[in-house]
Structures are given as structure tokens and as C-alpha cells.
Amino acid sequence: SELAGGYNSIRDAELKIVQAEREFHETVVTALRKVKASIDENTLELARVTETLARLDVRAPVGGMVHEIQAWAGGGVVPPKETILTIIPVAGGHEFELQVPPESINTIYVGQVARIRFPSFDQRSTPELIGKISVISPDSVTDRATGRAFYRVEVVIPSEELIRLGASKLIPGMPVEAFLQTGERSILSFLTKPLIDQISHTFREG
């Protein structure tokens, strides 16, 4: 009977061990499920916070000079599609927009050389820079204020040319003269972007 009692005790102990292992396993599985659920929830929250922070951190698509800042107040809210500031690209050179009248557009072509001058600088010490036409608009545009029709022509001045300005710095709003050689006629234009707003242009024979 003592031997049978010993066997029973061993069996009871084994059952308790099995039960304890089962309970431990269930506890671990339950805890793992809770941890996984918490990780998933925190991952989603992290993604939401990261997206929010990404919208707060404004990054320009290109390097350049900051111009016309519209939002100054710290912590302020900028409405959707509202302009915060304007960036004037400088890494690959400057781009200027000329307004060419329809009667002269047939003498303009992509790759055409343009001579650029800066009236605001000392003309005796400031070199004339060389740029090239990069884009010609397919259709003319009409100025609503004046009713004058013109074609948009973009001129690019490469960085190596801009270096020739030395200590002279281009400033937004600065007038620029662009001369395009078109046979016996040269176009003199004071309309360039992004450096200046809309200004009239003239012609010069020669």
C-alpha cells in the first residue's frame, strides 16, 4: 500500500507539473499576444506621428536662395496649398524668363546665346555673362494688364558664368538686361524671372 501510495504521489506530482507547464505556456502565449498587440498599436502610432512630423518639416526640392517668405510666426498654421516661401535655385545656375513679342519669335531658337547684363552693378567692373535659351513656350501669352501678347522664353546662365560676378550678389527684384542676337536685330529685355517681377522690355537695332 505504501508503494501504491508512492506511485500515486508521483503521478499527482507529474500531473501538477504538466498542469503547471500548461498554465505557464498559456500565460506566456497570452502575454506574447498582448505584447504583439501593443507593438502593432505602437507601430501604427509611430507611423501616424512620423507622417505628422514629416508634414511639419518643410523641405525644398532644390537648393537655392530663400525669397518672399510668407509665413513668419513660429508655431503658426499654414492653410493647405498656401505658399510658405519661394526658392530661387542656384546650384545649376540661374534661369530667367524673357517676354518675346510674336513678330520676333521666329528668330528665337533653343540653344541661342544670350548676353546678360546687370544694370544695378558697376558696368565698368561687372562682366557680361553668357547664357543660352533653354525653353520657348509653344503658344503666346497675353498680359491682362497691358493686353500685350508675348512668348515666354527661358534663358539659363550656368554656375561657372555666375562665378564671374565675384563679390556681386544677385538679389531678388534686381533688373537684368538680356540681349539676344537675331540677325541684324538684338532684343533688349528687362523682364526676367525669378530675379525680377514683370517689367517692360524694349528693342534696340544694331
| Residue 85 confidence (pLDDT) above 50 | yes
Q: Answer whether residue 32 shows pLDDT above 60.
A: yes
Alpha carbon distance 172, 67 (integer Å): 7
Cβ(188)–Cβ(199) under 8 Å?
no
pLDDT above 80 for 145: yes
- The whole-angstrom separation of Cα 43 and Cα 37 is 10
| For range 167-191, the mean pLDDT | 64
Q: Is the pLDDT of residue 157 over 60?
A: yes
CATH topology of domain 94-184: Elongation Factor Tu (Ef-tu); domain 3 (2.40.30)
pLDDT exceeds cutoff 50 at 146: yes
The C-alpha atoms of residue 200 and residue 191 are separated, in whole angstroms, by 6
State the DSSP code for 193: T
Residue with cell 500565460: 27
Q: Check residue 39 and give its pLDDT.
A: 93
Alpha-carbon distance of 55 to 197, in angstroms, equals 30
Grid cell listed for 96: 530667367
Q: Quick one: cell of 103?
A: 513678330
Q: Which of these ranges, 67-71, 102-106, 112-116, has the smallest mean pLDDT?
A: 67-71
* Contact yes or no for 186/107 (Cβ under 8 A): no
Residue type, 8: N
Task: Check residue 138 and report its DSSP letter.
Answer: S
On the question of pLDDT at 147 being above 80, the answer is yes
Whether the per-residue pLDDT at 189 is higher than 60: the answer is no
pLDDT for residue 191: 43
Kindly tell me if the per-residue pLDDT of 192 is higher than 70.
no
> What is the maximal distance between C-alpha atoms in the chain?
130
Whether the upstream peptide bond of residue 194 has omega within 30° of 0, thus cis, is yes
Confidence band, pLDDT 50/70/90 cuts, at residue 100: confident
For residues 195 and 117, which has the higher predicted lDDT (pLDDT)?
Answer: 117
Q: Which pLDDT score, from 0 to 100, does residue 12 have? A: 81
The pLDDT assigned to 205 comes to: 33
Domain limits of the chain?
1-57, 59-90, 94-184
Averaged confidence pLDDT in the chain: 76
Q: Is residue 46 scored above 80 in pLDDT?
A: yes
Burial class (CB in 10 A: 0-12, 13-18, 19+), 180: buried
